[in-house]
Amino acid sequence: MDDLAANLKRVLMQISNSARKAGSSPDEIELVAISKTHDAEKVHAVYEAGQVLFGESRVQEARAKIPELPSAIRWHFVGHLQKNKIRQALPLFELIHSVDSFALAKEINRIADEDGMHPRVLLEVNVAGEGSKFGFKPETVRAEMESLLALPRLSIEGLMIIPPLAEEAEASRTFFVQLRELRDALEKEFDLKLPRLSMGMTNDFTVAIEEGATLVRVGTAIFGERQRPKRK
Ligand SMILES: *Cc1c(COP(=O)(O)O)cnc(C)c1O
């Protein structure tokens, strides 16, 4: 398990180097260690090495894993949230990065109201306009912002992006810049604060930090390659 601690240390070092390069403080950037597909034992080893914040992308997997691990661990949800999993997800996760439609936001608000919760969320934006991806289009998020802000249970704290897969980290930069600019425009137009930008994964998190990320979601660089899910 030594390599996990070494991996974590290297990622934290890269974060602080990129932050310095961007003129921001490393303390302003949170590392979310994405533990999907990795078992509780591996998560525990990374926790022992000092990491407290982890992210999962499937409610079912998280529900099985979280009770096996120390309660001091904080969990974020980063995957596509199915409406029938909202009630299970709300008590498990302190932040949902991936609210990807108004219909989902409305349903989270309804269930949070029933269950007496006040979920913190980010809006996932599909800046590149890829048809196959979940997320608000930049135009729709603008048009729906009033309605989103009228959902009393939701605390909307920022934006999230998953850019198109690319070999080169630099290919993501234009999307990170667009997300930050959209954030700035929304803050101005709606007179609000959206301080959190969730952007950057193993391949491109250093570029994301240079462009203003406050949350980076890193899996492979910490845990190693994921097994491909078995076909049924
Ligand atoms: C899996 C996943 C990550 C982590 O990806 P890596 O390339 O392994 O760092 C980040 N964000 C989301 C939404 C994911 O599903």
Q: What is the pLDDT of residues 197-230, one digit of tens each?
A: 999 999 999 999 999 999 999 999 999 999 876 5
Global pTM value: 0.96
- Which ligand 1 atom sits closest to the C-alpha of 162? 13
Q: Hunting for tokens 């591996």 — which residue is that?
A: 42
The rounded percent of the chain whose pLDDT value lies above 90 is: 90
Is the pLDDT confidence value at 116 over 90?
Answer: yes
Question: Looking at the 3D structure of the chain, how many domains does it have?
Answer: 1
56 lies in a domain? yes
| The predicted structure's pLDDT at residue 115 | 98
By most ligand atoms within 8 Å of CB, the mutation choice from 201, 205, 215, 218 for ligand 1 is 201
Range of the structural domain that residue 124 is part of: 2-223
Residues 6+ apart with CB under 8 A from 138: 125, 127, 178, 182
* 33-67 per-position pLDDT tens digit: 999 999 999 999 999 999 999 999 999 999 999 99
**CATH number of 72's domain:** 3.20.20.10
Measured at the alpha carbon of residue 137, what is the angle toward residues 135 and 143, in degrees to the nearest 5? 115
Cα 131 to Cα 152: distance, rounded to the nearest angstrom: 30
Could you tell me how many residues make up the chain?
232
Residue nearest to atom 11 of ligand 1 (CA): 217
